Structure 1
Amino acid sequence: MQERVLKVLEFTKVREQLLEHAASPLGKERIINLVPSTDFTEVVKLQAETDEAATVFRIKGNIPLSGIHDIRPHIKRSVIGGVLSPHELMQIASTIHASRQMKRFLEEIDEERTEIPILKEQVDQIIPLTNLEQDIKQAIDESGEVLDGASELLRSLRQQLRSNEARVREKLESMIRSSNAGKMLSDAIITIRNDRFVIPVKQEYRSHYGGIIHDQSASGQTLFIEPQVIVQLNNQLQDIRVKEQLEIERILTELSANAAEYESELQIIVKVMANLDFVFAKARYGKKIKAAMPAMNNEGRITLFKARHPLIPMDEVVANDIMLGQDYTTIVITGPNTGGKTVTLKTLGLCSLMAQAGLQVPAQDGSELAVFDSVYADIGDEQSIEQSLSTFSSHMVNIVEILNRVGYNSLVLFDELGAGTDPQEGAALAISILDEVHRIGARVVATTHYPELKAYGYNREGVLNASVEFDVETLSPTYKLLLGVPGRSNAFEISKRLGLNEKVISNARSHVSEDTNQIDKMIASLEESKRQAEIEQQEARDFLKQAEKLHKDLQKQMIEFYEKKDSMLEKAAEKAEEIVDEAKKEAEHVIRDLRKMRTDKVAEIKEHELIDAKRRLEKAAPEVTKSAKLVDKKNKKQKYMPGDEVKVLSFDQKGTLVDRVSDDEWQVQIGILKMKVKEKDMEYLGAPAAVKETRPLAIVKGSDSHVKLELDLRGERYEDALLKVEKYIDDALLASYPRVSIIHGKGTGALRQGVQEYLKNHRSVKKIRFGDAGEGGTGVTVVEFK
């Protein structure tokens, strides 16, 4: 990719924003050097890697990336025999610790069955250098000071050092507290010069203390003297300090040599941690701009749903659908200036570059992008003053270079193609350039304000006209891209809105050819048709989604019904078996008693004893109580009529009879569904209200015929949402639904908490729970009724 193209399409600005999310110099270095890849396999892996990081970030929220340093120079110096400073050694220990933390963190996530194979493969390369880390931390503290416990000799030397310093201070303290010290000393303090303890003595009393003069004040009135009595003690201190420094050098040399032994392991740690910091920075940036992972292909197909320019604030940017490379390979966008054509061009180019760099793109899920060998862009006024080039010449230099390099697997973006010269010649050049690039087979998007190019898409296969929408009512662009609709001039409408005399406008229209007027009318009709088609398409999508949801819910309820039915039958069978077993035991007991009576009394068994035994046998037989409804159904077959309300037993749902299909089958309306149901699967509930009672009744609106099985509250205000929940629960209860779903989204959790508090206190609610993974997770509350 050309660096000029990365700058023109503002990929460099995306890198600058990405830098804010890196946690270490290693990650920032990777971001600074980030360029889009042209290898399809590599791009797919980069996207999968970023998606895994986004998954981890979504699950855990915080990633242990602190304490990472660029220790490559330290490793290099240690390998060639250099002695590392305590601070450098601590950076090595800190980086080892960070790598161990990250390895354990990702291994725990992997154990939780979250699929992160690429990240897991990377941390598996890390060898935890626990011994080296502990050796360094036992010798050096966090501030970079070598600890007394680094060696026994160092501990002993520092004890001697503290003891001798105490003796020196004691002697000097006695001097400055003596009776004549006040007149001989400039100040009663002990200070240090040249690593030796001294006292400030006035010039005229220098001979009183003897010893060595180490320094004097700026005025020369004060001399910093090491008294003769402590010269020997100071000499001993210096000797201990030299030994201490030698021991510290020995410890640092040993630790540096240890680090050098693990050169390859440390280099792997640096490489892995640099990449992980880089990958998680991409994931954080994707979350910030609300990006999604695009599917990648190497066939030149681009499908972007609600794509946004990542550098425009989200409350200002207009999202657009962009499709290219399947039914058509060239798009010509026409329309007025400042209408959003250039932003659309940059959005497409920047999303392509971001995707090939492994970044998620600011578009909805389901978007798809291609991996191009090269991306070319001629955008903006890039005239060169040094070369004395005009706007047209500057554009033409870029276009010539593009035509010399463009290939089949290229993406080419032209902004205001042919501008800066005579309109007729510019339009002709634009058409010729587009023909050439289209012939080569590259994917092309060009913007222009030449009216001659409006007909370009109609005359050539694989070319599509497009435009940016303009609202004549507000006299401002909407920045919405209209694929398949060429741009039209709004000069007359704008002039009329601004108050230009109608006579002047009519006169102007007369100077425009009839063909142009008809083209404008056709374009206006296309715009309206496309707008209407988009509305109807969205309505169809919503209805299809509702139908699929209802179908899924009914299937789930059927499964639950049959599972419950089987469970109840199994329990009933077990209970019946227990009753029969009890009856058998009782019968055996009675028979045993009769035999005993016969044996004991032979023919003396009296009538009342036989009657009592018979009664016991009758009691042992299990009693089966039949439902009155079942008895009634056996004795009398119900006569059904259209409009009757029935209960469909297999679905446990109310319905209304529509029409008889056969002798034992009816068409039944259940909610928005109509289905065929056999009479044996129906239970009669009653006749229609008009038949049952002729006097007027209060009709409760909200029957199951139009109540959905879910309520979507996303985007609602808190108070409005609770009112909707209250009404929806009443309607669902009237519809006899056993359960419903309320979609409140995840967000801050305030709406979810409010909804669940209301449901917990509702007298008809049996149980509430969050949706399963396939039902929307914590963004959905499932309500079961009593």
Structure 2
Amino acid sequence: MNDKIFEILQYASITNALAEQAQTSLGKEAARALKPGSDLESVQRLLQATQEAFDVDRLKGSPPFGGIVDIRPAVQRARIGGMLNPHELLGIATTLYGARRLRRFIQTMHEDHPVELLDGLAEQISEQRDLEKLINSCIGDSAEVLDSASPTLAAVRRELRGGESRIREKLESMIRSSSVSKMLQDQLITIRGDRFVIPVKSEYRSHFGGIVHDQSSSGATMFIEPEAIVTMNNKLRETKLRETREVEIILQKLTAAVGEQAELIAYDVSVLAQLDFIFAKGRLAHRMKASQPAMNDRGYLKLRKGRHPLIDEKIVVPLDVELGGEFSSIIVTGPNTGGKTVTLKTIGLLSLMAMSGLFVPAEDGCELCVFDGIYADIGDEQSIEQSLSTFSSHMTNIIRILKDMTPKSLVLLDEVGAGTDPAEGSALAIAILEYIHKFDCRMVATTHYSELKAYAYEREGVINASMEFDVATLSPTYRLLVGVPGRSNAFAIAERLGLPGSILSFARGEVKEEDLRVENMISALEENRLGAEAEREEAERLRREMEELRSRHERELDKLEAQRDARLEKAENEARDIIAKARKEADEVVSELRRLAMEEGASVKEHKLIAARRQLDQAEPETRLKKTKKPAAAKSAQQIGPGDEVVLTNLGQRGHVIELDGKEALVQVGIMKMKVAKDSLERVQTAPVTAPKQKPVTSVKRTKDDSTRSELDLRGANLEEALMDTDRFIDEAFLANLGQIYIIHGKGTGILRTGIQEHLRRHKLIKSYRLGNYGEGGNGVTVAELK
């Protein structure tokens, strides 16, 4: 692709903006060297990598690139045997650490959110832990060679520090003496040429022995090395030379280790540059609020709300355009300053960005093409030095384009045919456009010539377009209107500016009738377009509202269905648990009945059947909703009288009413008599029974039943309920042949204890009763002995 197109479309501004997003010099260099691709598959991979970087930046933030520097020159010098300095070695160590940390970051991200391309690149980074550890053991954070780098260096530096300390002590003792201090300019110790000296006044030079190493600019001070420390300084210098040689040995060793891994390190650096470059593209997409375009190689281009990336997004007018479908060429007409040139540059620059693997500032749903070349003739290239006019410069450029273009190229022409006689210019423009159109290129051209409107109307695959102009405000709106040719608006503008009507009338009379009809037709088309666009916008608004309502209703329906399913599932689980529990208890009851039947033959005693039935009734699951009392039941309860056959609703047993006492009734159930609440009875037959049918007492066999309880817990019950439960308990204990029972009533206020003991005193089956002894519950328990 010709480099001239990059200059015309200001492509360098995009690569510079991309470089600003890179975090390392490696990434910045790669960003500035970016060029568009011409292979569809490779461009799609570049865009996919940008999408992955975009997702990583959105989900995890910026990846860690700290410590990574450009170490390629140092690595190359190590490869050819040169010695690296501590700063270069430290840069290599920090880069190796940064590479390892970046690799771990991407791999962790890949586990949570797949980023195939980035993970594939990160996998190529080699692990250089041993080399990194070796350098860090010898080079400190301030790029100094550490004492721990070798035992020899540690010993030499200990000797060096000791020698310096002895020299300082010697000099300090000298400058503190009264005979020497008067000859000194200042009482301090300094260094000249790696040797310790003191500042002596120049007039005392002859009185002070030693070696002069320097003097002040005024000549008043001489920096003298006293003779007493010359030998000590010489020895110190020898020690420093030994230190220097040992440091060089260490650096040579480290450099050799780097040289052994130079090839791998260089490759790692190239991968790091690529990763930083990719993440810079992701960050640029965030900053531009750009989206990933779909790519093709069939010459199709569709932009939705495309924005020129170098124009402030607050003032730029979005561009909607489609090319390469029903038509392959667009002819844009309209006045100057209407935005035609910006439209051309937007189409060209966004195409270059997409071909470079960059997202484009447009809405989702855009599609762009991988062209083999983009050519443009935009702007005035008049050159005085080359004696080229505006027309000549345009023609030179267009001739070059016609020579280089292919059917897979995109051609952008601004003001084609301008700069010469209108008649000849329009004819030449039509000829050029026709040639390019027949060549099957994708083309967008702008012009002032009205003749090109008719050309675009008559040619298949070519369509008119214009830049919208608001006559009311005499200003352009910068909106591209595809399908509508542009109007000159000269008369309207002149009239709005106050040109006399007589002049306007004369001017209109000079316009050809055919041209006037065309202008009127365009005006009618524009009015119809504005009306249709308003209706379309209203329809679009209504559609969005309906979509929003439908989405909200679907969400609410999904929510209700989810709640219903959850409640049904919960109810089913609870019912399943209740049924399982009831089935288990029923099985236990049936097993007990079978055992009893086997123990006592074929007949099961009445009191045992009653107890088993009660246990089965208790195993029935309780309903969640409280059952309301039926009026019929209440009515039948009021009509119950002595002799009626009734059902005890709380026990599920049948019996006969013996007598009524207010709200209570004495009921005969089998051989047992019990007092129950009248509301708990339900009559089953209306015919009075004169004598309740009872089983012969002789069928009752008193045997001891081990399963019968010997104690009754009444704590928390009121006296009425306690007495009823006590009667039932005594009957069961008597039939089970128990000799002694325990009634637990608690201590409390004593009302329950007094009432129960008074009831026991009158009961015909109780022989005697007493309070519990120590270990039996004391005053909280009454122990009764049965007859």
TM superposition score normalised by structure 2: 0.75
Aligned partner letter, 1:413: L
Whole-Å separation in 2 of the counterparts to 1:424 and 1:460? 20
Q: Where does residue 132 of structure 2 map in the other structure?
A: 133
Structure 2 residue runs without a partner (length 5+): 631-787
Q: Where does residue 528 of structure 2 map in the other structure?
A: 529
Cα distance, 1:409 vs structure 2: 0.2
The equivalences for 1:27-426 within 5 A come to: 27-112=27-112, 114-426=113-425
Q: Where does residue 545 of structure 1 map in the other structure?
A: 547
The equivalences for 1:412-561 within 5 A come to: 412-538=411-537, 539-540=539-540, 541-542=543-544, 545-546=547-548, 549=551, 552-553=554-555, 556-557=558-559, 560=562
Cα distance, 1:617 vs structure 2: 6.4
Partner of residue 572 from structure 2, selected from 570, 573, 582: 570
8 A Cα contact 2:195 2:233, kept in partner: yes
Cα distance, 1:576 vs structure 2: 5.9
**1:457–1:243 CA distance, 2 compared to 1 (3 A):** same
**1:576–1:187 CA distance, 2 compared to 1 (3 A):** closer
8 A Cα contact 2:156 2:239, kept in partner: yes
Whole-Å separation in 2 of the counterparts to 1:145 and 1:614? 95
Whole-Å separation in 2 of the counterparts to 1:380 and 1:16? 23
Whole-Å separation in 2 of the counterparts to 1:572 and 1:96? 61
8 A Cα contact 1:583 1:622, kept in partner: no
The SS at the match of 2:398 is: helix
Structure 1 residue runs without a partner (length 5+): 632-786
The SS at the match of 1:489 is: coil
**1:513–1:130 CA distance, 2 compared to 1 (3 A):** same
Whole-Å separation in 2 of the counterparts to 1:377 and 1:330? 14
8 A Cα contact 1:30 1:275, kept in partner: yes
Percentage identity across paired residues of the two chains: 49
The SS at the match of 2:207 is: helix
CA deviation profile, 1:319-366 (whole Å, cap 9, x unmatched) = 111110111100011111000010010000000001111111111111
**1:175–1:429 CA distance, 2 compared to 1 (3 A):** same
CA deviation profile, 1:371-406 (whole Å, cap 9, x unmatched) = 000000000011122211010100000000011111
8 A Cα contact 2:68 2:94, kept in partner: yes
User: Which is worse superposed, 534-543 or 398-407?
Assistant: 534-543
8 A Cα contact 1:201 1:224, kept in partner: yes
Whole-Å separation in 2 of the counterparts to 1:296 and 1:304? 12
8 A Cα contact 1:590 1:616, kept in partner: no
**1:615–1:116 CA distance, 2 compared to 1 (3 A):** closer
Cα distance, 1:242 vs structure 2: 0.3
8 A Cα contact 1:148 1:158, kept in partner: yes
The equivalences for 1:762-773 within 5 A come to: none
Cα distance, 1:285 vs structure 2: 1.3
Whole-Å separation in 2 of the counterparts to 1:96 and 1:381? 52
Q: Where does residue 16 of structure 1 map in the other structure?
A: 16
Q: Where does residue 682 of structure 1 map in the other structure?
A: none
> Which structure has the bigger radius of gyration?
2
Q: Considering only aligned residues, what root-mean-square deviation do their CA atoms show, in Å?
A: 2.8
Whole-Å separation in 2 of the counterparts to 1:566 and 1:406? 70
Whole-Å separation in 2 of the counterparts to 1:628 and 1:464? 79
Whole-Å separation in 2 of the counterparts to 1:166 and 1:53? 58
User: Which is worse superposed, 233-242 or 14-23?
Assistant: 14-23
Aligned partner letter, 2:103: K
The SS at the match of 1:166 is: helix
**1:507–1:123 CA distance, 2 compared to 1 (3 A):** same
The SS at the match of 1:184 is: coil
8 A Cα contact 1:305 1:366, kept in partner: yes
**1:627–1:518 CA distance, 2 compared to 1 (3 A):** farther
Whole-Å separation in 2 of the counterparts to 1:250 and 1:484? 79
Aligned partner letter, 1:508: A
Whole-Å separation in 2 of the counterparts to 1:224 and 1:620? 112
**1:535–1:168 CA distance, 2 compared to 1 (3 A):** same
Whole-Å separation in 2 of the counterparts to 1:219 and 1:573? 108
CA deviation profile, 1:260-281 (whole Å, cap 9, x unmatched) = 0001110111100111111111
Cα distance, 1:609 vs structure 2: 8.2
8 A Cα contact 2:348 2:412, kept in partner: yes
**1:108–1:610 CA distance, 2 compared to 1 (3 A):** closer
Whole-Å separation in 2 of the counterparts to 1:455 and 1:90? 71
The SS at the match of 1:65 is: coil
8 A Cα contact 1:590 1:617, kept in partner: no
CA deviation profile, 1:115-151 (whole Å, cap 9, x unmatched) = 2111111110111211111211221122221112211
Whole-Å separation in 2 of the counterparts to 1:64 and 1:590? 74
Cα distance, 1:412 vs structure 2: 0.2
Whole-Å separation in 2 of the counterparts to 1:213 and 1:572? 104
Whole-Å separation in 1 of the counterparts to 2:101 and 2:624? 68
8 A Cα contact 1:122 1:272, kept in partner: yes
8 A Cα contact 1:382 1:394, kept in partner: yes
8 A Cα contact 2:579 2:621, kept in partner: no
Whole-Å separation in 1 of the counterparts to 2:76 and 2:216? 47
Whole-Å separation in 1 of the counterparts to 2:619 and 2:260? 89
CA deviation profile, 1:549-606 (whole Å, cap 9, x unmatched) = 2574377357536734752563365156247526734863784598489659x79x67
Whole-Å separation in 1 of the counterparts to 2:43 and 2:565? 47
Q: Where does residue 744 of structure 1 map in the other structure?
A: none
Aligned partner letter, 2:472: E
